[in-house]
Amino acid sequence: MKKHKRRHLRHVTSQPQQRDEGATFEVTIERILPGGAGLAHAAGQTILVGLSAPGDRLRVRVERRSGAVAFASIAEIIEPSPQRIAPPCPYFGRCGGCDFQQLAYEAQLAAKVEIIRDCLRRIARIDFPENIPITPSPAAWHYRSRAQWQYDARRNRFGYFERGSHNVCDVAACPVLVPALEEQLEDLRTRMSEGELPPGATEFQAVAGDEGASLFPPVDEAGTREVTREIAGRRYLFSADGFFQINHELLPALVSAAVGQASGATALDLYCGAGLFTLQLAQRFERVVGVEAHPGAVAYARRNLQLSGATSATVECSTVGAWLKEHASSLAPLDLLLLDPPRTGAEEGVITAILDAHPRRITYVSCDPATLARDLRGLTGGGYNLQSLQAFDMFPQTHHVETVAHLSAA
């Protein structure tokens, strides 16, 4: 029998030419959306424009589409917003590290509060009536004590990923790094030019503490150095091989907002890392349990508890989901449950398990307003009241923002 080739009929639409990629539009940016892009409308379309400022009048070029939304780049600034400033970094726009340098600092802060409200409204269905205060970073530049650098040995490039790609943007200097990491970056670039970087290494993690920078993977026989930092009266030991917060100058304010004057018999610190909040809670609660999945971070959390003389706290090495599954029903009475998950938010099953554990109060520390809103929806739907929200500008020059939410059982 003769086989008939299936004919793939091309779907011909009668879309106007202005819906094509490459089309240009004149738009005014209305506001900044979660994700950092500016929102605009033209010819009946929703257009998201990267690196824009609210009030900018722009000619934009559509780069791609996803459903009804067009993603565009700036072709021409027709009239700059009063909130727009000249980005100081020569790599801005190409480097994927920062996406808010075009905004005056006050405008960055305002945009971040609006991003939080937007996520609460759309995702959590919460119209939060109260003010959301935002604490600025003590330093808007040279604040970053943690960095992840990419190395392309074939092209001899060292720096960050380019915006929207996995090509390495070769960066000789980065104005958001603390001086110890600027020096570390320079040292690694010198090693690259002298062919001294470890063969096969493509990514480096660096953190700075009082003793200088710690690097993973290490580039000399001394290995990955341990460093320390004192935060809110407690000294923390950590290294580049594991999580520690980025903006150390802002941490006392974050710790104070998250832990404050809380006290009681039992507290949980979920996603506890090297024990930032665990040590603080251990001063205020009779019993504290930290849960963390990264074995290196767990080891530091345990050592940090020991160094601070805290005997009331223990740290479990497990995913939060697996640990709660086993222990949620036996935790009551629980005075405080603090969680500080990664950007992806609480993993599947965690919010339900938290509801099963019935903590009197919940403190949610979040670095992503969208997943925070998703999880708040679960918690408020399960009977918790959202008492307060506070924002912290942990990541100046980017759209990222840290939020602390306090909830109490109804």
Ligand X SMILES: C[S@@+](CC[C@H](N)C(=O)[O-])C[C@H]1O[C@@H](n2cnc3c(N)ncnc32)[C@H](O)[C@@H]1O
How are beta strands 227-231 and 234-238 bridged, if at all?
A: antiparallel
Residues touching ligand X, count (CB under 6 A): 22
Show the tokens assigned to 78: 């027709």
| Near ligand X by CB under 6 A: residue from 87, 218, 264, 342 | 342
| Near ligand X by CB under 6 A: residue from 320, 389, 391, 407 | 320
Minimum CB distance to ligand X smaller for 103 or for 346: 346
Q: Enumerate residues 6+ apart whose C-beta is below 8 A from 12.
A: none
Does residue 367 have an active-site annotation?
Answer: yes
| Near ligand X by CB under 6 A: residue from 114, 152, 226, 347 | 347
Strand partners, 36: none
From 282, 209, 289, select the one nearest 244 (Cα to Cα). 209
| Near ligand X by CB under 6 A: residue from 61, 294, 327, 358 | 294
In 91-245, which ranges are E strands? 134-135, 146-152, 157-161, 168-170, 203-209, 212-216, 227-231, 234-238
Quote the least distance from Cβ 239 to ligand X, whole Å: 13
Minimum CB distance to ligand X smaller for 268 or for 389: 268
CA–CA gap between residue 251 and residue 61 (Å, rounded) = 40
Minimum CB distance to ligand X smaller for 136 or for 321: 321
CA–CA gap between residue 20 and residue 182 (Å, rounded) = 43
Quote the least distance from Cβ 266 to ligand X, whole Å: 18
Residue 235, CA distances (Å) to 247, 258, 259 in order: 16, 18, 17
Among 35-43, 210-218, 288-296, 356-364, the segment contacting ligand X (CB under 6 A):
288-296
CA–CA gap between residue 310 and residue 136 (Å, rounded) = 31
- Residue 355 binds ligand X, judged by CB under 6 A: no
Site for ligand X in 214-253 (CB under 6 A): 243-245
| Near ligand X by CB under 6 A: residue from 124, 276, 315, 391 | 276
- Residue 375 binds ligand X, judged by CB under 6 A: no
Q: Are 80 and 56 within 8 A, CB to CB?
A: yes
Quote the least distance from Cβ 331 to ligand X, whole Å: 16
Residues of this chain that bind ligand X (CB under 6 A) = 243-245, 271-274, 276-277, 291-294, 297, 319-321, 340-342, 347, 367
Catalytic center residues: 367
